[in-house]
Amino acid sequence: MSVLNALSVSRKPAAAFVVIGLYWGTFAAFVPVIKARLGASDALFGSLLLGTAIGLVTAMFFAPRIDKWLTGRTMQLSSVLVALAFLAPGLASTPTMFFFAMVLAGTASGLTDVIMNARVSELEAQHGKSLMNANHAMFSVAYAIAAIVTGIAREVGLPPIAVFAGMGVLTFALAGMMVTPVAADPDDEATVTGFPWGPILLCGAIVQIAFMSEATVEAWSALHIERTLNGGAAEGALGPATLGIMMAIGRFSGQAVSERLSDYLVIVCAALLSAVGALIVAVAATPIIAYVGFGVLGLGVSVIGPLGLAIVGRLVAPKYRTEAISKAAVIGFSGFFLAPIVMGGVSELFGLRVAFACVAGLLMLLLPLVSVTRRRAPV
């Protein structure tokens, strides 16, 4: 199935992926502005970002229940909630306000994330084709575009609230196409022996490492360019933008590759490539070299999270699919608990170069994890 066909089949959840990409791309490019406004150190800012993780994980636990209640309108309403929630970090002026603002943003994002991934997994089951990478690529495209637009907005002096509000206009326009029928769960209790914790835990760990690595670049790349490498505001915004562009390329390419190669082999190769990218960022002497590193890292890490979620969606019974994806996503996004604290603390003590070197080491943990998953997950 071509990328265009995949996006045509899954155009409704793809619109939700675009919405999430728009807001996190905007946020990533505004990190230096928001951090300066709060007067927060690296360690404090990293701790404040825990609000995002708390919101994400809380929403993901409740997402299956909310989805059963709202049915086909869950994705639409949660996307609107994202647009409203991100006004809060745009207005926050104190560390406490910012923390609770990120809880709101994380809650809305977490709910949307589970539902849109579950809808893609349902469509994969219906059509017997891989769709996850194409949809995650739309997140990356939107993320990169939003980061570039935000960099321009920063150069002309627009405040965060103005840009977040502008993204809200686009979100309300896209929300109109997000009403999606929910696939009925077949009565397969006779073939199900218990809740599938094994695949969930293994795939969740794969997603966690991918999202920790991605989150570190999203949150700290602009600051690394501007502070460590003395770049300007527009140059700083190109850090997350480069990540987003290369992640989009990686995911569009991954859509084709995943139909020809084993998912496990793709993850191993991607882990090695992204670790090299993190090391390039760590030793970069100029913004241009750092962009190369962000690009290589983004190209590799782009396919790891989507494939982890796709694998768990295939390994569990249909009746458990939404809940399994929700729990794997909870494990994956718990990386947002760890990444801000660990990377913020490392940066405070040793600098951002060492923090990005730690990302390379983290990615190498995927190699033994994938080996265990390949042997045990199908059992």
- Residue 21 to residue 9: CA distance in whole angstroms: 20
175-198 per-residue burial string, b: 16 or more CB within 10 A, e: under 16: beebebebbeeeeeeeeeeeebeb
The answer to whether residue 189 scores a pLDDT higher than 50 is: no
Query: HSE-up of 226 (CA within 13 Å, CB side)?
Result: 22
Domain membership of residue 188 (yes or no) is no
Token couple for 122: 């349902």
In contact, 234 and 287? CB cutoff 8 Å = no
Percent of the chain with pLDDT over 70: 94
Side chain identity at 79, as an amino acid letter?
A: S
In a domain, 86, yes or no: yes
Does 180 have pLDDT greater than 90? no
- Give 181's pLDDT tier (boundaries 50, 70, 90): low
Residue carrying structure tokens 């219906």:
126
Q: Residue 193 half-sphere exposure, CB side, CA atoms within 13 Å?
A: 2
Q: Which residues contact 363 (CB under 8 A, 6 or more apart)?
A: 209, 213, 271, 274, 275, 278, 300, 301
Task: Give the CA radius of gyration of the chain.
Answer: 19
Q: Answer whether 0.85 is exceeded by the pTM.
A: no
User: What is the residue whose two structure tokens read 């993850």?
Assistant: 267
Instruction: Evaluate if residue 131 carries a pLDDT over 60.
Output: yes
Structural domain includes residue 191: no
Residue 104 CB neighbour total at 10 angstroms: 20
Q: For residue 379, what pLDDT is reported? A: 43
In a domain, residue 190? The reply is no
The range of the structural domain enclosing residue 116 comes to 3-180+196-373
Secondary structure in 3-state letters for 304-344:
HHHHHHHHHHHHCCHHHHHHHHHHHHHHHHCHHHHHHHHHH
Q: Which residue in the block uniquely carries the two structure tokens 């790891």?
A: 304
Which tens digits make up the pLDDT trace of 284-331? Answer: 999 999 999 999 998 999 889 888 888 887 778 777 877 888 788 878
pLDDT at 283: 93
Cα–chain-centroid distance for residue 75? 17
Region 191-196 average pLDDT: 62
End-to-end alpha-carbon separation of the chain, Å? Answer: 29
Q: Is residue 283 part of a domain?
A: yes
Q: What is the pLDDT of residue 340?
A: 65
Long-range contacts of the stretch 100-103 (C-beta < 8 A, 24+)? 100/51, 101/51, 102/48, 102/49, 102/50, 102/51, 102/52, 102/55, 103/51, 103/52, 103/54, 103/55
With respect to residue 284, please indicate whether it lies within any of the assigned structural domains.
Answer: yes
* Number of structural domains found in the chain: 1
* Residue 235: other Cβ atoms inside 10 A: 18
Domain assignment present for residue 166? The answer is yes
Determine the pLDDT at residue 269. Answer: 93
pLDDT in tens, 82-124: 999 999 999 998 999 999 999 999 999 988 988 898 888 888 8
pLDDT given at position 1: 53
Q: Annotate 79-129 with DSSP letters as a single string.
A: HHHHHHHTHHHHH--SHHHHHHHHHHHHHHHHHHHHHHHHHHHHHHHHHTS
pLDDT at 275 over 50: yes
Q: What CATH number corresponds to the domain at position 248?
A: 1.20.1250.20
Mean pLDDT in residue range 1-18: 84
Model pLDDT, residue 304: 92
Q: Does some domain include residue 211?
A: yes
Lowest model confidence (mean pLDDT) among 293-302, 334-343, 348-357: 334-343
Contact between 242 and 291 (Cβ < 8 Å): yes
Q: Tell me the average pLDDT of the chain.
A: 85
Contacts of 40 (CB under 8 A, 6+ apart): 48, 95
Distance between CA atoms of residues 6 and 137, nearest Å: 11
**CA-based nearest residue to 323, from 208, 185, 131, 139:** 185
